[in-house]
Amino acid sequence: MRFASILHDGAPMAVAIDGDQAVPLTGIAELGTMTPLSLLRYPSLDRASALPSADLLRRPVVPCPGKIICVGLNYAAHIEETKREPSAYPVLFTKFATTLAGPFDAIPLPPEPEAIDYEGELTVVIGERARRVPRDRALDHVAGYTLANDVSMRDYQYKTHQWLQGKAWDASTPVGPDLVTLDEISEPLTLKTFVNGVKVQESSTELLIFDVPTLVSTVSEFATLEPGDLILTGTPGGVGFRREPPLLLGDGDEVVVEMEQVGRIENRCFAERAR
Ligand code: MG
């Protein structure tokens, strides 16, 4: 099944996407801690309140995750272009819920950073609590997949060896559009990113250095993962900052991240004035 978090007449609601209908989950305002896999498998649906699924106002698929874990340098082609060495352990960093944006929201380009880049990424939504979960049981704790654009302020990212200040700007990370449960998906999956209609990234989940079960198992060793937590699995090669000449995001640019079976997010960039 596919699920989403929307705003309807100003009210937040979680819905199941059923063809051209969006069917509210009874009494559930958004996907997250209140929508574990056990609920998503047998959701209580308010069919009498179904809405047309087109033109819904989409929120981040999980608007307020308890944790957002991001993986860096998880494809060989991206490691190569950044001229870094592969790591034996996943490179991990975090974002905040305030960093997220809806899958079709405009992305603000703040005035301070000078090098703003795209990163299309497969994103994992946790479905059941996980602590010290072995790799072979890790997928039992995954609700499904979605997509993200880990928009990165490169000049800020590389101010120090920690990346947080380049990765956690407000409303910089669109995520969605749907949470697609794993039973709807057959891997491998192909990820593509487009800037103004030109394909800039294409890779397969087969090429992940640390695959989804490994990431869930690894993170769960030190932190309890809860329903709604997100893991952004890393971006493939082709980022703009490492191109010659660089391809940086500017006012009016449109970025699309898509993956067959999972969906497509589409965001226009706009120059934000400092407040
Ligand atoms: Mg990334």
Q: Report the alpha-carbon distance of residue 148 to residue 175 in Å, rounded.
A: 4
Distance of CA 169 to the CA centre of its chain: 15
Cα of 72 from ligand 1 centre, angstroms: 6
Query: 157 and 46 share a domain?
Result: no
113 in the same domain as 22:
no
CA 224, CA 193: separation in Å to the nearest integer?
A: 32
CATH number of the structural domain spanning residue 114: 3.90.850.10
Give 3-state DSSP helix, strand, coil % of the chain, rounded to 5: 20, 35, 45
Identify whether residues 34 and 116 lie together within a single domain. Answer: no
62 in Cβ contact with 175 (< 8 Å): yes
Contact status, residue 3 vs residue 16, Cβ threshold 8 Å: yes
Q: How far is the CA of 150 from the centre of ligand 1 (A)?
A: 5
Distance from Cα 18 to the centre of ligand 1, integer Å:
31
| Same domain (yes/no): 102, 141 | yes
Ligand 1 centroid – CA 152 distance (Å) = 8
CA of 1 to the centre of ligand 1 (A): 26
Per DSSP, helices labelled H in 123-162 are: 154-157
Give CA–CA dist 61/182, Å, rounded. Answer: 16
Q: Are residues 44 and 132 in the same domain?
A: no
Q: Assess whether 188 and 162 both reside in one domain.
A: yes
Structural domain for 186, as ranges: 68-271
Distance 239 CA to ligand 1 centre (A): 10
CB atoms within 10 A of CB 109: 22
Q: How far is the CA of 70 from the centre of ligand 1 (A)?
A: 6
- CA dist., res. 244 & res. 64, Å (int): 37
Distance, CA of 82 to CA of 67 (rounded, Å): 27
C-alpha of residue 93 to centroid of ligand 1, in Å: 9
Q: For the chain, what is the domain count? A: 2
Residues 209 and 257 in one domain: yes
Alpha helices of the chain — where are they, by DSSP H? 37-41, 76-82, 154-157, 164-167, 212-222
Compute, in angstroms, the gap from residue 169 CA to the centroid of ligand 1.
13
Task: Provide the CB-side half-sphere exposure for 127 (13 A, CA).
Answer: 21
Q: Are residues 52 and 103 in the same domain?
A: no
- Whether 63 is in a domain gets the answer no
What confidence score (pLDDT) does residue 191 get?
A: 98
CA of 186 to the centre of ligand 1 (A): 23
**Alpha-carbon span 75 to 96, nearest angstrom:** 24
| Distance from the alpha carbon of residue 149 to the mean position of ligand 1, in angstroms | 8
46 and 74 in a common domain: no
pTM of the model: 0.97
Q: Tell me how far apart the alpha carbons of residues 171 and 109 are, in angstroms, rounded to a whole number.
A: 10
Q: Ligand 1 center to residue 262 CA distance, Å?
A: 18
pLDDT (0 to 100) of residue 275? 65
CA of 148 to the centre of ligand 1 (A): 9
Q: How far is the CA of 82 from the centre of ligand 1 (A)?
A: 12
Written as tens digits, the pLDDT of the chain (275 aa) is 999 999 999 999 999 999 999 999 999 999 999 999 999 999 999 999 999 998 899 999 999 999 999 999 999 999 999 999 889 999 999 999 999 999 999 999 999 999 999 999 999 999 999 999 999 999 999 999 999 999 999 999 999 999 999 999 999 999 999 999 999 999 999 999 999 999 999 999 999 999 999 999 999 999 999 999 999 999 999 999 999 999 999 999 999 999 999 999 999 999 998 76
d(CA 264, CA 257): 6
Q: What phi and psi values does residue 140 have, to the nearest 5 degrees?
A: -65, -15
Cα of 120 to ligand 1 centre, how many Å?
7
Residue 181 to residue 160: CA distance in whole angstroms: 37
Distance 232 CA to ligand 1 centre (A): 7
Residues 214 and 98 in one domain: yes
Cβ-based burial of 122 (10 A; exposed 0-12, middle 13-18, buried ≥19): buried
- In terms of domains, do 75 and 49 share one? no
Question: Please, are residues 192 and 266 in contact by the beta-carbon 8 Å criterion?
Answer: no
Claim to verify: residue 25 and residue 146 sit in the same structural domain: no
